[in-house]
Amino acid sequence: MDVMTNTDIVKLKNAVNDRDHATGPQSAPVTMVEYGNFECIHCGVVYPVIKKARTLLGDSLRFVFRHFPSVRTHPHSLRAAEAAESAGAQEKFWGMHDQLFTHQQSLEDHDLSRYASRIGLDSDRFAREMAEHAFLKQIQSDYDRSVFDEHVTGTPTLYINDVRYTGATDLESLLAAIKRADTQRLIQIPEDAGGLRALIERLRHGAKG
């Protein structure tokens, strides 16, 4: 088990606000923030893990996604972020978020247009906003803030209740970290590893339906 001293704790400087893309109630005992990149393979691996945690915890977890498109290593990531913001303007950010992570190998502009149609966006508006780079300045500004304020250097970078999480990103480890962060003790997850694994197995089998 990782031992974290006070000097190791890295706090989130830019608090979650109304501009953020968040799912789950503000009253949730735990908020997880991800700085992510739609083309990053590691983000793609953690995506279904976070989704399962959200399913299991329901209103006990608030999840926030912030863009961190590293175009030098992921050339399609910025356009994907623009597509997600355009979808967000039509109140369908999470639909596009799921499409992009589910199809990480297909992020060309024609692919993005297909996902826009699939989730029911106004295709003409989407095409216009993408052509005009309507959200580019906002994404770049947020990226700069992530680098200079939060010192984010890669993805995924996770915060749990405003504290950077550097542990393993398997479901069991994430759930344990979320439970530790719940100082109100509102989240009911088995304390013992065996009980937690059994709960995860039930979740997995349920997700297969």
Distance CA 132, CA 130 (A): 5
Could you tell me the two tokens for 189?
Answer: 């997850």
Full-model pTM: 0.89
Residues 84-136 have pLDDT tens digits of 999 999 999 999 999 999 999 999 999 999 999 999 999 999 999 999 999 99
- Which tokens sit at 40? 């990053």
For the segment(s) 6-16+29-197, the CATH number from 3.30.1360.30, 3.40.50.800, 3.40.30.10, 3.30.530.20 is 3.40.30.10
Tens of pLDDT, residue by residue over 170-201, are: 999 999 999 999 999 998 875 555 566 676 66
Angle at 202 between CA 199 and CA 203, to 5 degrees: 90
Q: Which residues of 11-46 are buried (b: 16+ CB within 10 A; e: fewer)?
A: ebeeebeeeebbebeeebbbbbbbbbbbbbeebbeb
**Is the CB of residue 20 less than 8 Å from the CB of residue 133?**
no
* Element of type H or E holding 124: helix 123-131
Q: Is the peptide bond before 156 cis (omega within 30 degrees of 0)?
A: yes
